Structures are given as C-alpha cells and as structure tokens.
Amino acid sequence: MKRTLKSSAEKQTAIHESVHYPFTAIVGQDAMKLALILNVIDPHIGGVLVMGHRGTGKSTAVRGLAGCCPQLKK
C-alpha cells in the first residue's frame, strides 16, 4: 500500500475541520484564557507561552480558541 504525504495546507485544513472542545466550556484557568483572548485581539502582543503540568488543559484551550477564530487568508 502506497502512502501519500499531505501538504502543509491539507494538514491545516484537516486540523480546522476536526472538532475540538469548546473554549467557552473550559472551567478555571482564567489568567491563561485571558492571555490567549488578548493575543487574538492584539497580535502585536507577540504570543503567549502556556506552561503547566500535564492534564491542565493547555492544548485543549489553545485548540478550542483556534476553533472559535476565523481562518486568516494569506
């Protein structure tokens, strides 16, 4: 069986089409959520470094917020 490699654009499309936990349903982590939202509002902030122990919802929050935001056109 021959595998085909997906292009970067195809991978991004697949990521945005998948279903993620809703950002608004995340309980707690208020400082992290505020920092992520402010970074979406003003990208000149320069990003957010999300740190924490395993299982604290870091990736879930970021993916959930990305699911709420429209895709940027290049």
Residue 35 pLDDT:
93
Global pTM value: 0.65
Alpha-carbon span 23 to 10, nearest angstrom: 24
Question: Residue 74 and residue 62: Cα distance in Å, rounded?
Answer: 21
Note down pLDDT in tens along the chain; length 74 residues. 556 666 666 665 555 566 778 888 888 889 999 999 999 999 899 999 999 999 888 999 999 998 888 887 87
pLDDT value of position 74: 74
Other Cβ atoms less than 10 A from the Cβ of 57: the count is 17
